[in-house]
Structure 1
Amino acid sequence: MTEENLAAAFNENNTPFAKMMGVKMTLVTKERLEGELEVTADHCTMPATLHGGAMMAMADNMGGIGAFMNMAPGSMTTTVESKTNFLRAIPQGQTAKAVTTPVHLGRTLQVWKTEIFREDGKLAAVVTQTQMIRPAKDG
């Protein structure tokens, strides 16, 4: 059985920061997330390549969505650790494509891996993050 793709719902209701950055989800299921970011001058460092912080922010948002999709009702999630390996630059004008998959789906901790690719399909970065799952606070 194939899961429903919830990308449209997450694009509409994504976090304000992800919307401001221009992150577009193309696939959102419990086991796989895919997203894109058109690299504009506003996303770049010198020379005109995607800033590492933008890659990390994109991956953090996607890992958070993955955790949300896999946590119990009445829970919330927060990133408690994130590690990035930068392998290649992504030039301005290209679209960064990211794929996020679970490494571990525990009750209180989840680990997610995001691979970010250039348009030529070469791997540009790998982000591994740990999401803590805890009960949502009342009030």
Structure 2
Amino acid sequence: MDPADLLATMPFAVHTGVRLEAATPDAVVGRLDWEQHRTTAGNGMHGGALMTLADSVGAACAFLNLPAGATTSTTSSSTVFTRGVRKGTVTATARPLHAGRSTVVVVVELRDDEDRLVAQVTQSQAVLRPAS
């Protein structure tokens, strides 16, 4: 699926500045730039901005691993922050850990411009099948 078309299905991600660079079932890559309006005390990028990037990229990865006709919704998300971001661009890479009949589990790594780990997110997504 074209990354721009996939991103267009997530208006909040578009509004917050998330960009998708690549999108396949094996990996989805997205980016978010450090901007003053995305910071908290000390000029660090706000954790909510980082989690928005991770959730958006993770949801796209889960979606690409769904069976035909199914949709998805996040059921849990666990984030471990490892360092602050005070400049540049954060790159998120989501990969499926498990793609089953009822859940998809995705791991998302967020890295700074120097390829240092900023956060890791493990996300579970329900597989929602159409009513028969």
TM-score, structure 2 as length reference: 0.93
For 1:16 and 1:42, the matched residues in 2 are separated by 19
Give identity over the alignment, percent: 32
For 1:96 and 1:41, locate their aligned partners in 2 and report how far apart those are by CA, in whole Å: 14
Does the aligned pair in 2 maintain the 1:36–1:95 contact within 8 Å? yes
Output the CA distance in 2 between the equivalents of 1:78 and 1:129: 10
Report the Cα offset of residue 135 of structure 1: 1.6
Residues 94-139 of structure 1, C-alpha deviations (whole Å, 9 max, x = no match): 111111101111111011010001111110000000000112469x
CA distance in 2, matches of 1:118, 1:136: 39
Paired position in structure 1 for 2:71: 76
Alignment correspondent of 2:48: 53
* Of 13, 20, 25, the match for 1:25: 20
Q: C-alpha root-mean-square deviation of aligned residues, in Å?
A: 1.5
Number of aligned residues: 132
Cα distance in 2 for residues equivalent to 1:85 and 1:96: 15
Matches of 2:42 and 2:34, distance apart in 1: 13
TM-score of the superposed pair, with normalisation by structure 1: 0.88
Amino acid at match of 1:55: L
Stretches of structure 2 lacking an aligned partner (at least 5 in a row) = none
Letter in 2 for 1:44: T
TM superposition outliers: structure 1 runs of 4+ over 4 Å: none
Gaps of 5+ in 1: none
